[in-house]
Amino acid sequence: MATLDNPTTAYIYTLVDPVTQVTRYVGFSRNPERRLKKHMSNAIAYIDKNAKEKWLEDLHYRKLKPLITIVEECAWEDRRTREAYWIDHFSKIEPIMNIDRPKVSR
């Protein structure tokens, strides 16, 4: 993946299980590659882990990483609305691990 880093752009991304190909998490970032590294380091460092961190830690110990997929590029100021849209979209298909579930504007 090419390095994406733009102060006015948000990238809505998914983390996909590399074994099952199931989307497990939706997020946003200016730089998704850097954000994935942060997710992975947090999963190892935290003692009190949520479901996403436990999943990422398990992948780490199995020498695997989640697949990161950019599902949308949007203006930074629209990031939360667009993230909410994609969380809603993917949670209708399969359970995802997002703790914060922003409301989708309709």
> What domains are defined for the chain?
9-91 (3.40.1440.10)
- Report how far residue 37's alpha carbon sits from residue 40's, in angstroms, rounded to the nearest whole number: 5
The residue among 86, 88, 66 whose CA lies nearest residue 21 is 66
- The answer to whether 27 touches 35, Cβ cutoff 8 Å, is yes
- Secondary structure class of 98 (helix, strand, coil): coil
Question: What is the largest distance, in Å, between two alpha-carbon atoms of the chain?
Answer: 41
pLDDT at site 2: 47
- The pair of structure tokens assigned to 32 is 């998704």
Question: What's the average model confidence in pLDDT over 72-100?
Answer: 94
- Report how far residue 13's alpha carbon sits from residue 32's, in angstroms, rounded to the nearest whole number: 7
pLDDT tens across 30-82, in order? 999 999 999 999 998 988 889 999 999 999 999 999 999 999 999 999 999 99
**Percent of the chain scored above 90 by pLDDT?**
78
- Report how far residue 95's alpha carbon sits from residue 106's, in angstroms, rounded to the nearest whole number: 22
pLDDT at site 100: 74
pLDDT surpassing 70 at residue 21: yes
pLDDT at site 46: 83
